[in-house]
Amino acid sequence: MPVKILVNPRMAERTQKLSENASGKFYVDTTCIDCDLCRQTAPANFARNAEKGYSYVSKQPVTPEEAKFCQQAKEECPVDSIGDDGEG
Ligand code: SF4
């Protein structure tokens, strides 16, 4: 019997970037569920809009370490709300 592999087809959508994102490569789109994971993984680069209940990129990474944590945050986001194609 064939095995069906389900893959989440979603990717962050740069046309739906939140307005608070710092301009540049990384961004959060409007599908963020405010789970806090990116803020824990990359606290120097992600912040929370507490009033509206979502995260956004407060600062683009400037060091290799920050870039690594931002990439990790992108990969960990449970709803794929973080994109890294914001410069296109
Ligand atoms: S990890 Fe994803 S869903 Fe969770 S707060 Fe960050 S952008 Fe939002």
Q: Where are the domains of the chain?
A: 14-83
Tell me which residue has its CA closest to atom 4 in ligand 1.
Answer: 35
Per-residue pLDDT of the chain (88 residues; tens, 9 = 90+): 677 766 667 899 999 999 999 999 999 999 999 999 999 999 999 999 999 999 999 999 999 999 999 999 999 999 999 999 999 6
Instruction: Give me the pLDDT at residue 79, please.
Output: 96
Instruction: Give me the pLDDT at residue 60, please.
Output: 98
CATH number of 14-83: 3.30.70.20
Q: How many CA atoms lie within 13 A of 53 on its CB side?
A: 3
SS3 of 29, please? Answer: strand
Tell me which residue has its CA closest to atom 2 in ligand 1.
Answer: 77
| β 46-49/54-57 pair status | antiparallel
Instruction: Give me the pLDDT at residue 17, please.
Output: 96
Ligand 1 binding pocket (C-beta < 6 A) is 28, 32-38, 55, 77-79, 81-82
60 C-alpha to ligand 1 centroid (Å): 16
Give the predicted TM-score (pTM) of the model. Answer: 0.90
